[in-house]
Amino acid sequence: MVLVTGAAGQIAYSLLYSIGNGSVFGKDQPIILVLLDITPMMGVLDGVLMELQDCALPLLKDVIATDKEEVAFKDLDVAILVGSMPRREGMERKDLLKANVKIFKSQGAALDKYAKKSVKVIVVGNPANTNCLTASKSAPSIPKENFSCLTRLDHNRAKAQIALKLGVTANDVKNVIIWGNHSSTQYPDVNHAKVKLQGKEVGVYEALKDDSWLKGEFVTTVQQRGAAVIKARKLSSAMSAAKAICDHVRDIWFGTPEGEFVSMGVISDGNSYGVPDDLLYSFPVVIKNKTWKFVEGLPINDFSREKMDLTAKELTEEKESAFEFLSSA
């Protein structure tokens, strides 16, 4: 049982086919897809339901479209929480947080009440890190390690920028890291990244020999890529977000390749990389048997430290605002 929320929206439209065709959970895993959206979107959702039926996907045993949480969250194995309140023009970040705390508190409580305790929860809707923390706090009977938020899109963007610069494919680049918040304070770090050139692996800094680009334009390009796509397309980056969700969930399900790590927003323990305890922060992780672990012991230089602290500060402030709303909601 796989739930996608915000299922009548753009990202879900790019995502649902990939889940249904076996690209995420494997070519021999039958799936029941549950689609949740708000009541005014049910007409659109019926259209999406019809299209999924018309794809005639052999692995898709059933598709359930609903606007009711008690239906949507029942017996779930995986919950992909895409739907959130988008930021409207003139809206303060605080207003955005308040609206989303309400949504993710309710969905967290529904997970707690109806889903399997082994459910894996992936939060995509922004502000993703803090929404994920809110959902986790509202589902005390589900292990907090089962909650993660999507920073894989930023991770993929960072890989792609390095690949473009070096004239290789994104597959030749590995072990980039996104630290912190899925916002413009995130820090794309390639100090530990490797690239395959002429058949051998070299460090990205060594391969590029362009420190000023790596510390300047590269960082800002990745940080602001979402805004650049919106400016160009007049719509958000739905196709690349859907691809990143598939990558993220597939890695949870099947594990990360040997010798590679990926970026995921997960709960901090206060012992890793100087990140305060109990923040939902993007770290480098490896995954095995559906369980993630921090990649430990990577040396952090002063430039990185400053960027990592800056995004932790923003997340701490977001968390404090969200928790004010959470306790009064």
pLDDT by residue (tens digit) across 275-293? 999 999 999 999 999 999 9
Are residues 173 and 156 in contact, defined by beta-carbon separation less than 8 angstroms? no
pLDDT (average), residues 149-163: 98
Say whether the peptide bond before residue 276 is cis (omega within 30 degrees of 0). no
25-28: which pairs have CB atoms within 8 A and are 24 or more residues apart?
A: 25/249, 25/250, 25/253, 26/253, 26/254, 27/59, 28/59
Res 91 pLDDT > 80 = no
Residue 93 labeled ligand binder = yes
Residue 100 among known ligand-binding residues: yes
Q: Is 119 marked as a binding-site residue?
A: no
Residue 257 CB coordination number (10 Å): 11
* Range 6-34 average pLDDT: 97
Catalytic site includes residue 182: yes
Q: Is the pLDDT of residue 47 over 80?
A: yes
Domain boundaries, the chain: 2-149, 151-317
**% of the chain surpassing 70 pLDDT:** 100
Res 326 pLDDT > 70: yes
Position 92 scores a pLDDT of 75
- For 204-224, give one letter per residue: b (16+ CB within 10 A) or e: beebbeeeeebeeebbebbbe
Rounded to the nearest 5 degrees, what angle is found at the Cα of 10, between the Cα atoms of 9 and 12?
70
Which secondary structure element, helix H or strand E, spans residue 170, and what is its range? none
Which pair of tokens denotes residue 280? 């939902």
Looking at residue 151, its pLDDT comes to 98
Instruction: Give all strands of the β-sheet with 291-294 in edge-to-edge order.
Output: 60-66, 31-36, 2-5, 78-81, 120-123, 147-149, 262-267, 280-288, 291-294
Catalytic, out of 155, 182, 192, 248: 182
Is pLDDT at 90 greater than 90 in this prediction? no
CB 284 within 8 A of CB 256: no
Task: Check pLDDT > 70 for residue 257.
Answer: yes
Provide the pLDDT for residue 235: 87
CATH class for domain 151-317? alpha beta
How far is 148 from 281, CA to CA, in rounded Å? 9
From 273, 288, 29, 295, select the one nearest 155 (Cα to Cα): 295
Q: What is the pTM of this model?
A: 0.96
DSSP-based helix, strand, coil % in the chain, nearest 5: 45, 20, 35
Quickly state the pLDDT bin for 97 (edges 50, 70, 90): confident
pLDDT at 177 over 80: yes
Q: What are the counts of helices (DSSP H) followed by strands (DSSP E) for the chain?
A: 12, 14
- Known binding residue 78? Answer is no
The token pair at 289 is: 């048997």
pLDDT at 325: 85
Per-residue pLDDT band at 136 (split at 50, 70, 90): very high
The length of the chain is 329
- pLDDT of the residue at 85: 87
- Mean pLDDT in the chain? 95
CA distances from 320 to 3, 244, 267, 268 (A): 29, 28, 16, 16
Q: Quote the pLDDT of residue 12.
A: 97
Query: Poorest-confidence range of 36-40, 89-93, 176-180, 227-231?
Result: 89-93
Q: Does 329 have pLDDT greater than 70?
A: no
For the segment 32-61, the average pLDDT, to the nearest whole number, is: 97
**What's the pLDDT score for residue 87?**
75
Q: Is 305 annotated as a binding residue?
A: no
Nearest to 85 by CA among 6, 182, 185: 6
Give the lowest-confidence range in 149-153, 177-181, 207-211. Answer: 207-211
Mean pLDDT to the nearest integer, 85-94: 76
Over range 130-147, report the average pLDDT: 97
d(CA 291, CA 293): 7
- Has domain 2-149 been given CATH number 3.40.50.10790? no
| Pair of tokens at residue 297 | 């012991």
